[in-house]
Amino acid sequence: MTSAINRRQFLQLAGIGGVGVVFASALPGVAHAAGQDDFYFVQLSDTHWGFEGPPNPDAKGTLKKAVASVNAVDQQPDFIVFTGDLTHTTDSPVERRRRMAEFKDIVGGLRVKDVRFMPGEHDASLDSGKAFKEFFGATYYTFDHKGVHFIALDNVSDPRALIGDEQLAWLAADLGQQRADAPIVVLTHRPLFDLAPQWDWATRDGAKAIELLMPFRNVTVFYGHIHQEHHHMTGHIAHHAAKGLMFPLPAPGSQPNRSPLPWDPAQPYKGLGFRSVDAEVKEAACRITEYPVVKA
């Protein structure tokens, strides 16, 4: 996709061929950000740069196509987030850095330059996030955008899938500065709740983070790791998993193993994609839209 398309056409792409879904959801509390403009951001996840294998014959091309698809929109997002597993794991520190450099070079082609990165276990678990920090900076941090407070949590640099007491204390201190009705968006890699412990789709101390977030009325979590769209509520907190951009994984618990779903030559890139999240301040609503890698 090289020709420019407008925002409305971009949204319509989601429905073509049944490969995308517009998911109406809430980014609660955004309405409280009085005087702020509507905005949207794009979430990409699990690009696994460096992976090679039958689940994706276009392993070297898929990320570039996704970048081109995002760039083709005339009204660009305010910012873009990558929720982990930017690269596929390797035992070699040299190769890990080479993959991160290549990934960074490719996503450097995004028109939007405000890009936020989170690590996945493939990026960070074998070296406690050392290489990730060299290329992308801190593994957990906050930022504010048009009245919304964003919190990036790291649940992968500890290979035991722990957030850890130090980061939890940091989270508690940050939340202590927020109003109870503040719109808060959490970005992370693994699910914070026990989605499928039999497949290691969990964060061992994720419940502690959720407990810290529970007093806040307007919290939404966006994460990756499971390579498919998924929506779940823990109390009033919504958790939205994103599709990946290398290979799709099966639905939680649907088969004995979590092996990648096979590539379908009749429907290339099926199960892959990215999403936009619209914060519609004036309408007090938010919209999640799922996109295929390429226009159908």
Q: Which of residues 193-212 bind other proteins (CB under 8 A)?
A: 194-200, 204
Pair type for strands 230-234 and 274-280: unpaired
CB-based contact 48:88 (threshold 8 Å): yes
* DSSP conformational letter for 197: G
**Of 5, 133, 285, 295, the one binding other proteins by CB under 8 A:** 285
Instruction: List strand residue ranges (DSSP E) for 1-137, in order.
Output: 22-25, 39-44, 79-83, 115-118
CB-based contact 77:34 (threshold 8 Å): no
**Of 73, 152, 238, 294, the one binding other proteins by CB under 8 A:** 238
CA distance 87 to 85: 5
Using the rule CB under 8 A, is 71 a contact of other proteins? no
Using the rule CB under 8 A, is 261 a contact of other proteins? no
Using the rule CB under 8 A, is 141 a contact of other proteins? no
Using the rule CB under 8 A, is 256 a contact of other proteins? yes
Using the rule CB under 8 A, is 15 a contact of other proteins? no
**Of 12, 36, 71, 90, the one binding other proteins by CB under 8 A:** 90
Residue 244 backbone zone (phi > 0: left; psi -120 to 50: alpha; other: beta): beta
166: Cβ–Cβ under 8 A, 6 or more apart, which residues? none
Q: Which of residues 32-61 bind other proteins (CB under 8 A)?
A: none
Residue with Cβ nearer other proteins (63 or 124): 124
**Of 1, 5, 15, 26, the one binding other proteins by CB under 8 A:** 26
Tokens matching residue 49: 């740069």
Using the rule CB under 8 A, is 130 a contact of other proteins? no
Give how many residues touch other proteins by CB under 8 A: 44
Using the rule CB under 8 A, is 94 a contact of other proteins? no
User: E strand or H helix at 220, and its extent?
Assistant: strand 218-223
Contacting positions for other proteins (CB under 8 A):
23-31, 88-91, 121, 125-126, 156, 159-161, 194-200, 204, 218, 230-233, 238, 251-253, 256-259, 284-286
